[in-house]
Amino acid sequence: MERSVILVKPDGVQRGVIGEIIHRFERKGLQLVGLKMLSLDDALLDEWYAHHKDKPFFAKLKAYMKSYPVVAMLWEGAQVVATIRKMVGITLAREAEAGTIRGDFAMSQQYNLVHASENTEIAKREEQLMFTPSEIFPWKKTDFPHVYLDEEIK
Ligand code: CMP
């Protein structure tokens, strides 16, 4: 099974949508295997956003991500990285599809509520950066036979 890292960004914490975001992923049938609140620092953000380091908005992005705590989550499911990206919507929130998290609750290019792992390789790197092994709980979710066919989760 795949895993994806979600951050509820500082604006999502301020806007009070932590519960809404968890609720959406839970209702979808995804499994929460890690959850914590933390403040991000320069060292972590430089690694996290290394691919954005030459972008004109990098300094602003870092200042924003340090402004208030974030909530980090690790979600598990079949092809969960792509599923979550679809549920989150595009970066420019005011143009994101209605029904997505950004489409329903945000308007900005920067203040877009959530970070979602971009692909499976990045998801693995982000899981290691964000969670220690003792912060990950691979519990048995007993409703999976009602969520997936056997062959979908092999
Ligand atoms: P996300 O796509 O999750 O990851 C990169 C983040 O940088 C993005 O969300 C926004 O929060 C922020 N971002 C992207 N483009 C801009 C921009 N042009 N100006 C300010 N922030 C941006």
Range of 48's domain? Answer: 2-152
Task: Please tell me the predicted confidence (pLDDT) of residue 149.
Answer: 97
Ligand 1 neighbour 108 (Cβ under 6 A): no
Cα 90 to chain center, whole Å?
13
Tally of structural domains, the chain: 1
Ligand 1 neighbour 60 (Cβ under 6 A): yes
**What residue has token string 């092809």?**
79
Task: Please tell me the predicted confidence (pLDDT) of residue 154.
Answer: 75
| 152 Cα to the center of ligand 1, angstroms | 33
Task: Please tell me the predicted confidence (pLDDT) of residue 87.
Answer: 98
Task: Please tell me the predicted confidence (pLDDT) of residue 40.
Answer: 98
Give the side-chain half-sphere CA count within 13 A for 122: 16
Instruction: Please spell the DSSP secondary structure of 92-151, one letter per residue.
Output: SGGGSPBTBHHHHH---SS--SEEE--SHHHHHHHHHHH--GGG------TTHHHHS-GG
- Write out the chain's pLDDT in tens, 154 residues: 999 999 999 999 999 999 999 999 999 999 999 999 999 999 999 999 999 999 999 999 999 999 999 999 999 999 999 999 999 999 999 999 999 999 999 999 999 999 999 999 999 999 999 999 999 999 999 999 999 999 998 7
| 139 Cα to the center of ligand 1, angstroms | 33
- Please enumerate, as own/partner, the contacts of 40-43 that have beta carbons within 8 Å and a separation of 24 or more: 40/65, 40/66, 40/70, 41/66, 42/66
CA-wise closest residue to 74 among 112, 144, 129, 145: 129
Ligand 1 neighbour 137 (Cβ under 6 A): no
Task: Please tell me the predicted confidence (pLDDT) of residue 104.
Answer: 98
Task: Please tell me the predicted confidence (pLDDT) of residue 82.
Answer: 98
Which atom of ligand 1 is nearest to 49's Cα? Answer: 5
What CATH number has the domain bearing residue 142? 3.30.70.141
Residues with a catalytic annotation lie at: 115
Ligand 1 neighbour 53 (Cβ under 6 A): no
- 81 φ/ψ angles, rounded to the nearest 5 degrees: -60, -50
| 79 Cα to the center of ligand 1, angstroms | 24
